[in-house]
Structure 1
Amino acid sequence: MPLSPDHVFTVSELNSEVKWLLDTQFGVVWVEGELSNTMRARTGHMYFSVKDSRSQLRCAMFRNDNRRIDFTPQDGQKVLVRGRLGIYEARGDYQMVVDRMLEVGAGDLQAKFEQTKRRLHEEGLFDEQHKQSLPAFPRSIGLITSPTGAAVRDALNVLRRRCRHAQVIIYPATVQGATAAPSIARMLKLANKRNECDVLLLIRGGGSLEDLWAFNEEVVARSIFDSALPVISGIGHEIDFSIADLVADLRAPTPSAAAELCSPDSAELQQMIKAMQQRLLRQQENTQSGHKVILTRLQRRLDNHHPQSRLRQRAQRCDELELRLQRQIINAQGRARNRLVQLQTRLKNLSPEHQFVRRSSQLSSLNSRLTNSTRTTLQRAGLRLDGSVRALQAVSPLSTLGRGYAIVQTTTGTVVTNTDQVNAGEALDIRVSAGKISARVT
């Protein structure tokens, strides 16, 4: 994804990004090398390295995958492994998660398998649109297999138990070796030519990749694709997978499973028929109940449209309207009375007599407030005057004279405060508390 140049990864973010890049850029890869440090954990998972003369690659192979290995891996053994590249984020270790391991001797067959698979896939032989549907109740079932193998016995046991009414036709074929692929192809063509079966089972027991190789041959794949009859493949065990499985209309993990897939179980059919009978009875009861409901609804509609019923409804409607009219008249009268009371109250408040009384009351209140205010003002003014008189008396010269002091003045009224201001023989006026004395300087 695009990142700004100044983007800083956390360790977890970087490991996650590297894991995503490895998974998307490489996908599934095959690697050849020598096993080393092989170790199987108690959980069944296997851990090892694949190396050559210059490098090594850590690998992990989980339990469900390593159970399909048909040999015992040992250090120093040459192997071919398939898997996806990734990173163990907890430690940041680069590794390969392996899902398939082959001895190098089997690698050529695996490469040929992949080459054939890729070519047939490109031609569309594996496409779902070419798959045929299986008959629900086959009357005749064809088995293309070895008539002496365990696979045919297992399939016949299943068919005998599940579907006794079906006819079973065995088309004997060689299922291992160089002649197996042409033999299988011939039996497929023969079964289609005779057209006596509703479905074909191509089955074989388990084995190694070499043992099952005939089912990877192109001639077998094309014969299955060209078959007008639906083909179910049941080759080997569940872990075995062949090109025939990819082309077949349906793959079963084992021959017994293939027989089960094409044959309806008699017990299950009986249960199905019983269930269908019960479902039919329930459906009939539901239909009758539905008709009863419809009949009741129609009867109700007929009653509702009867003249007497309509007259009753009209009468009830008239009563309802009369009650509504009475309630509206009562409500209108109540609103009118309330409005009249409001207007009378307003008229009373606006009458001259009421105005005169209200104004007289206001005038008396204002007169009382004026009288109280005037009295309070005069009291406050008298108190202020008394305070001023006392302050004036405290600083008045007359108060000083009353305590025995006198004021000496010249005849011109100048107050004498220093002996230098008078001369001998000069006339002076001496003011005392209760009068004035004339004197002369000696």
Structure 2
Amino acid sequence: MHPMSHQDLFTSTPAHFSPEREIISVSQLNRRARQLLETQFPLLWVEGELSNVSIPSSGHWYFTLKDDQAQVRCAMFRNRNMLVRFKPQQGQQVLIRARVSLYEGRGDYQIIVEHMEEAGTGALQRAFEQLKARLGQEGLFDPAYKKPLPGLPGRIGVITSPTGAAIRDILSVLERRFPAIPVTLIPVAVQGKEAAPQIVRALELANRSGLFDVLIVARGGGSLEDLWPFNEEIVARAIFASRVPVISGVGHEVDFTIADFVADLRAPTPSAAAELVVPDGNDWLDKFIGFEVLLEEAMLRKLRHWQQRLTWLRQRLRHPRERLEQQGQRLDNLELRLKAHIQHQLGNYRHKLEQLRLRLQPHHPQVRIVRLHEKLAQQQQRLVSLQKQQLQGYKQRFNAALRLLNTLNPLNTLERGYSLTSHAESGQLISSSKQIVTGELVKTRLAEGELISRVERTLP
């Protein structure tokens, strides 16, 4: 059978003019009609009012989208509506991205919704304003709580993505303005569900470490949804509780986040945050950063376009094997992302380990042993010197005492003709004639030799 054109599909030919009649079933007719609708209409953006909202136990959403002149039935399956940040309500004005289809079971024309957001101001903007008002009433934006920045910080901590443009811009500016100041990157995600908890943990870690004089919380520009982690209440309260001054450098000059209001200083861009944290600089990188952001946004728009077209092409492929292949490809992609994430984490841990090793290197036992050996050698030299000094002093004192002893030695008197007389038996010196009796033996010591004599007579 040759493929039928659009005109052939719906043009009826009288039976008596056709040599052969093609008879199809109702299900075949509906299937062809569905294929025709799905292949001829790409993804569309439609705005309207919700009506007849139904949420059965399956978790799928069924509703009618209408305006003042027409209405259309819609279906949003569970795997897509789980990403919606609000619960649809009767009469709510929404903006949806959808593809045109047909429900074959009833032959009902309908649209399959891939994405839904509130029209007008939007839910994110309202949530932003509500949180801003509540935190403002609590005093988190009060200038009285703003901590002054150090004139010349000893160490700067940067909380941002290690792969984003923001860290490159900050490091470039800091290196140009004051390269002597050490900078530590505390890597976090800056987009998605995991971003806010990681930013809070990074702020707590930086405060506990006691290493930093100032912190920069930064990321590049983006939509309100891209910047939403910096509008989370837990991030705002972590910045407010920080003992270290915090500079917020999130997005572009026109972007404002809750983090900007709570921080001790708001910078319009990550580069401006680097300009504010160190002295002596200029703004020549601003234009370059603007071009980089424009290029990034252009690439994102192009990627979104091709992603939409890819999604549309995927909807045309209905073979179960190809669906399984798509799921397998998705699993492979998740596996690659998991491996990349693990490698990234390992890189971070290696970097931290190297930093710790460098910090511990001055405290290595071998270094301390060398220093102690040097100190011991110095102490030994001082001990030898002190010993020599003490021996010299003792020698001088000994010679002086010897000279004095020689001067006072009674034996030296004997050299001048004097003698010492003592009892011959006891050896006791005799200084008076009354100490001796007649006939007793006495011993007389001369300068040279001794005499033993007997006393014949004593005189008073």
Query: Shorter-chain TM-score: what band?
Result: 0.3 to 0.5
Normalising by structure 2, we get a TM-score of: 0.36
Larger radius of gyration: 1
